[in-house]
Amino acid sequence: MKSLMLVTAITLFPALAIAAGKHEGGHDEYAMGAPAAEGAADMKSVEISMRETDEGTMIFEPSELSFASGETVRLVITNNGELEHEFVMDTVEANAEHKELMARFPEMEHDDPNAVRLQPGETGEILWTFENAGEFEFACLMLGHYESGMHGPLNVTES
């Protein structure tokens, strides 16, 4: 019986290690739009800060984002906090599913064009064209961060 459990553990270990490792290219399409090219014309820049407050709340500044459909934006995201944070934008439902997965695999890293994970003091960018009108969300899906207030509405209006 012990040898059966050992063989099962040895067989499953590589799959678990891969699952907990890196989350890459999990999405072919995004409900709100698509990654933009670096040289996109008329790209406006929006600065976003991620940090913790003295009271322990985790926040984004600004706390909500609004764009027009067809608008291409350079999101410049800075982690001004003392903890590692991430910025992920998607539908509320997709973020909820992703948050569940993150709870099971907290060390999972992302390599998706709609997300950036930053250490304290780091700055990253997302270049995005918001193609579809609707109500979306941006959030930090790291364990406990969403529950500490780190999420906000992302609204895309008809142009």
pLDDT digits (tens, 9 = 90+) for 52-103: 999 999 999 999 999 999 999 999 999 999 999 999 999 999 999 999 998 9
Q: For the chain, how big is the Rg over CA atoms in Å?
A: 18
Q: Which amino acid is at 142?
A: M
Tokens (6 digits) for 24 = 């890459």
Q: What is the mean pLDDT of residues 17-41?
A: 65
The per-residue pLDDT for 57 is 96
* pLDDT tens-digit readout, 115-143: 999 999 999 999 999 999 999 999 999 99
Q: How many helices (H) and strands (E) does the chain have?
A: 2, 12
Choice between 93 and 4, residue whose per-residue pLDDT is larger: 93
pTM, two decimals, is 0.80
- What is the band of 41 on the pLDDT scale with cuts at 50, 70, 90? low
